[in-house]
């Protein structure tokens, strides 16, 4: 009987996760063209604004599946053998989301987010004519205001993170007393082996639970600092790490394994009731 009730409770738990109120926001689904500057497009529906420093000071969409190929082959999954840049490859060159890195198949990112290079500054309206990432680094800032619920957990995919580059992630938010808290994380502490990162590599970072790490119950800002080139392939946000259901490859570089759900590019938002913060 105890065994029966254990199985029953497990099924109830799995059902609640699989059929949770989930909103999926993808850069592709939003219809962004290659080279689009990202700022307030997600503010009304999700309470998220984007900005960048470094290069041209713009966070810009780069289509990693573009054909014919674009200005930066390191950000593209497939590069034609007929291109003049001699960077031909048939898939990602490595990383825990690549077939060469041990995944069952290459992860299809579609649109990714980069910092626009100063060498390609011409644009038409809010779209750069020649999207290309800035080799000198910079930072992305995501600000959360009037969100549909409180974010505390994230999972992030990064593209073209080179082995000698250290990316920093700063999570800022409020604790239950309404006090501001900060949690910092660097990729050098995650990818201790540089063999996991290089040109045209794609990796998913471990899930970060800002509540466990710093007592944050409501993220207000996420700053991502790049020491070199690269792009954000995907950002997933949830109210708790337990509810952050994401496809996580079984790689030694990842510390979190959970339920598996195939999702696409952009931002996954898992809805849950808002947590109370003391006045």
Q: DSSP alpha helices (H): ranges in the chain?
A: 2-18, 43-46, 187-190, 210-214
Lowest mean pLDDT, pick from 131-135, 253-257, 265-269, 271-275: 253-257
* 275 against 192, higher pLDDT: 192
In a domain, 29, yes or no: yes
In a domain, 115, yes or no: yes
What is the distance of C-alpha 96 from the center of its chain? Answer: 14
**Rounded mean pLDDT of 143-155?**
88
DSSP-derived pairing of the beta strands 266-270 and 231-238: parallel
- Please, which residues have CB within 8 angstroms of residue 141's CB and are 6 or more apart in sequence? 50, 51, 52, 53, 221, 222, 223, 224
Identify the pLDDT of residue 17: 38
C-alpha 171/C-alpha 34 separation (Å) is 28
pLDDT in tens, 192-206: 665 567 888 898 888
Identify the pLDDT of residue 2: 53
In a domain, 187, yes or no: yes
Rounded percentage of the chain residues whose pLDDT exceeds 90 = 36
**Rounded mean pLDDT of 35-46?**
92
269 has pLDDT over 60: no
Identify the pLDDT of residue 249: 41
In a domain, 11, yes or no: no
pLDDT in tens, 18-34: 334 334 556 666 779 99
Are 153 and 244 spatial neighbours (Cβ–Cβ below 8 Å)? yes
Are 155 and 263 spatial neighbours (Cβ–Cβ below 8 Å)? no
Are 263 and 24 spatial neighbours (Cβ–Cβ below 8 Å)? yes
C-alpha 109/C-alpha 204 separation (Å) is 11
190 has pLDDT over 80: no
Of the candidates 276, 205, 275, the one whose C-alpha atom is nearest the C-alpha of residue 240 is 275
* Count of structural domains within the chain: 1
* 182 against 279, higher pLDDT: 182
Residue in the structure block whose two tokens are 């990842």: 254
161 has pLDDT over 60: yes
DSSP 174-219: E-TTS-EEEEEEEHHHH--SGGG--TTBEEEPPPEEHHHHH--SEE
Burial class of residue 271 in the structure, from the number of CB atoms within 10 Å of its CB (0-12 exposed, 13-18 middle, 19+ buried)? middle
8 has pLDDT over 50: no
Identify the pLDDT of residue 268: 53
In a domain, 146, yes or no: yes
pLDDT in tens, 63-109: 999 988 889 888 999 887 655 555 677 889 888 888 888 888 888 98
In a domain, 10, yes or no: no
In a domain, 9, yes or no: no
Lowest mean pLDDT, pick from 77-91, 115-129, 239-253: 239-253
* Sign (positive or negative) of CA dihedral 234, 235, 237, 240: positive
Identify the pLDDT of residue 81: 62
Assign residue 56 a region (left: φ > 0; alpha: ψ between -120 and 50; beta: otherwise).
Answer: alpha
Dihedral Cα 182, 46, 273, 277, nearest 10 deg: 40
Domain assignment of residue 41, given as a range: 22-270
pTM beyond 0.85, yes or no: no
Task: Indicate the DSSP class of residue 36.
Answer: B
Identify the pLDDT of residue 264: 35
144 has pLDDT over 70: yes
Identify the pLDDT of residue 153: 86
In a domain, 66, yes or no: yes
Identify the pLDDT of residue 61: 96
Identify the pLDDT of residue 250: 36
* Radius of gyration for the alpha carbons in the chain, expressed in angstroms and rounded: 19
Rounded percentage of the chain residues whose pLDDT exceeds 70 = 72
């Amino acid at each position: 009987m105890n065994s029966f009730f254990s199985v029953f409770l497990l099924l109830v738990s799995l059902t609640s996760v699989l059929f949770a109120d989930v909103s999926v926001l993808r850069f592709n689904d939003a219809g962004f063209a290659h080279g689009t500057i990202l700022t307030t497009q997600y503010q009304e529906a999700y309470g998220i604004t984007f900005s960048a420093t470094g290069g041209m000071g713009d966070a810009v969409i780069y289509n990693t599946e573009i054909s014919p190929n674009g200005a930066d082959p390191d950000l593209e999954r497939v590069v034609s053998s007929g291109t003049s840049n001699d960077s031909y490859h048939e898939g990602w060159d490595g990383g825990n989301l690549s077939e060469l890195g041990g995944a069952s198949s290459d992860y299809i990112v579609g649109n990714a987010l980069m910092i626009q290079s100063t060498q390609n500054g011409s644009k038409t309206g809010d779209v750069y004519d020649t999207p290309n990432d800035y080799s000198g680094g910079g930072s992305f800032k995501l600000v959360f205001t009037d969100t549909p619920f409180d974010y505390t957990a994230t999972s992030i995919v990064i593209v073209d993170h080179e082995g000698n580059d250290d990316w920093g992630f700063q999570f800022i938010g409020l604790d239950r007393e309404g006090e501001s808290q900060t949690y910092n994380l660097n990729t050098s502490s995650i990818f201790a082996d540089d063999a996991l990162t290089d040109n045209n590599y794609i990796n998913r970072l471990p899930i970060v639970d800002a509540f466990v790490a710093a007592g944050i119950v409501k993220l207000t800002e996420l700053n991502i600092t790049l020491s070199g080139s690269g792009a954000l392939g995907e950002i997933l946000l949830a109210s708790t790490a337990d509810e952050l259901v994401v496809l996580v490859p079984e790689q030694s570089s990842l510390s979190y394994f959970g339920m598996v759900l195939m999702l696409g590019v952009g931002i996954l938002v898992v809805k849950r009731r808002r947590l109370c913060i003391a006045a």
